[in-house]
Amino acid sequence: MKICKEGSFYTREYRNLFSELGFSDEEISNRLEHTWTELFYGAPEVRIYHPMDDDKGYIVDTGNSDVRSEGMSYGMMMAVQMNKKEEFDRLWKFAKVFMQHTDGRYKDYFAWHCKPDGTRLSPGPAPDGEEFFAMALFFASSRWGDGPEPFNYSGQARTILRACVHQGEDGEGDPMWDPKTRLIKFIPESPFSDPSYHLPHFYDLFALQADEQDRSFWTEAAAASRAYLHTACHPVTGLSPEYANYDGSPAEPQPHGDYRHFFSDAYRVAANIGLDYEWFRKDPWQVEQSNRIQAFFRDIEITDYRRYTIDGQPFDEPSLHPVGLLATLAMASLAADGPDAEPFVRQFWNTPLRTGVRRYYDNCLYFFSLLALSGNYRIYG
């Protein structure tokens, strides 16, 4: 596999790793469209999307029977990448009506989860939702153009980002990015981060489209996140914790659990690094990091994936989302240039969508990997 020197942002060309392995354009296109159809309109044990009324829809976390800002924003990103405007608008309308706060300390943020009927289960936000909402909305504006509110996509995205940076300056609430370090927080009130929330490739694009006064902030945030991941990922294994302090060290156990180890949230780090490298190619360390994490999992079967300390010691606790982990390891091949890059892509191609109760998170990561590895996770704008 060959990697060009410049990222897709500059060349507007996207690697198709499936094509590099010999799969035909027809096979790849059919696989992508079939997977979309399965997730959005397939059998009950596969689908995660549900229409609601005449103008709304939601993505359900099947493992928890709720609707999350994470999944809603993921669904919007899937839809805009696939040029599916109806589903995008339905998801956005649900999020806008039921999840986005209109006043108070969380104004313009989104409640992180609610029931499928829209009833909020918790008012607090989760910043990974906000950053995906904003990026998907900017892409929608570029693909389809802005319409009447709430489908004035670019304006809605700027409102979200304005809150992320400036919330609390009037004395009420907290920003989603730490003002000193320029690092994204786990939640607005927390003094630590989540490595899997770091999307420097999004921040570089925000720097081109956010409010003009905040564009330098987003440029600085992109650089800060790239540097942060160097400290959050173990130098030998490549594994990162689910929660980490601003210096990259694992965060102390929280009242709701111990997140110092490599488990579900942390799977996304490999995928995010791969996509950042594909789009921007700004950090050669990302190649080494992607090789490291693939090497760690080289001889571990998907059925044996577990929770691990970041230095690689396994717990007697199986992975809750093994297909999702495999998907992110394959997506790391966008940056990796070692001997494991090709085998992980091939293994991913040969692995079907997950079915059953736990399928939501796995299959979201699966679809993003399918988009990215086929050259279809693209920048619009």
pLDDT of residue 257: 84
Residue 359 lies in a domain: no
Residue 258 lies in a domain: no
Confidence of residue 48 (pLDDT cuts 50, 70, 90): very high
54 is catalytic: no
137-176 pLDDT, tens digit per residue, is 999 999 999 999 999 999 999 999 999 999 999 889 999 9
Task: List the helix and strand counts (H, then E) for the chain.
Answer: 14, 7
Lowest mean pLDDT among 39-53, 59-73, 249-263: 249-263
Residue 83 pLDDT > 70, yes or no?
A: yes
Q: How far is 138 from 144, CA to CA, in rounded Å? A: 10
Q: How far is 342 from 328, CA to CA, in rounded Å? A: 14
Residue 101 lies in a domain: yes
Active-site residue (options: 70, 128, 178, 283): 70
302-320 pLDDT, tens digit per residue, is 999 999 999 999 999 999 9
pLDDT of residue 256: 83
The better pLDDT of the pair 108, 171 is held by: 108
Residue 223 lies in a domain: no
pLDDT of residue 255: 81
Other C-beta atoms lying within 10 Å of the C-beta of residue 320: 15
The total of structural domains in the chain comes to 1
239-256 pLDDT, tens digit per residue, is 999 999 999 999 998 888
344-373 pLDDT, tens digit per residue, is 999 999 999 999 999 999 999 999 999 999
Question: Looking at the DSSP assignment, which residues form a beta bridge with residue 120?
Answer: 114
Residue 169 lies in a domain: yes
Contact predicate 128/197, CB 8 Å:
yes
Residue 242 lies in a domain: no
pLDDT of residue 1: 52
Residue 90 lies in a domain: yes
Domain interval for residue 126 = 62-176
Q: DSSP letter string over 203-249?
A: HHHHHHHS-GGGHHHHHHHHHHHHHHHHHHS-TTT----SSB-TTSS
Taking 3-state DSSP, the helix, strand and coil percentages for the chain, each rounded to the nearest 5, stand at: 50, 10, 40
pLDDT of residue 2: 52
What is the average pLDDT score of the chain? 97
Residue 53 lies in a domain: no
265 is catalytic: yes
Buried b (16+ CB within 10 A) or exposed e, 265-283: bbbbbbbbbbbbbbbbbbb
Confidence of residue 3 (pLDDT cuts 50, 70, 90): low
β-pairing, 49-52 with 306-308?
unpaired
pLDDT of residue 4: 61
316-353 pLDDT, tens digit per residue, is 999 999 999 999 999 999 999 999 999 999 999 999 99
Residues 6+ apart with CB under 8 A from 72: 58, 59, 91, 94, 95, 99, 110, 129, 133
Q: Which of 222, 271, 223, 268 is nearest to 241 (CA)?
A: 268
205-235 pLDDT, tens digit per residue, is 999 999 999 999 999 999 999 999 999 999 9
Active-site residue (options: 38, 128, 131, 265): 265
Residue 40 pLDDT > 90, yes or no?
A: yes
For residue 131, the domain's CATH number is 1.50.10.10
Q: How far is 381 from 367, CA to CA, in rounded Å? A: 22
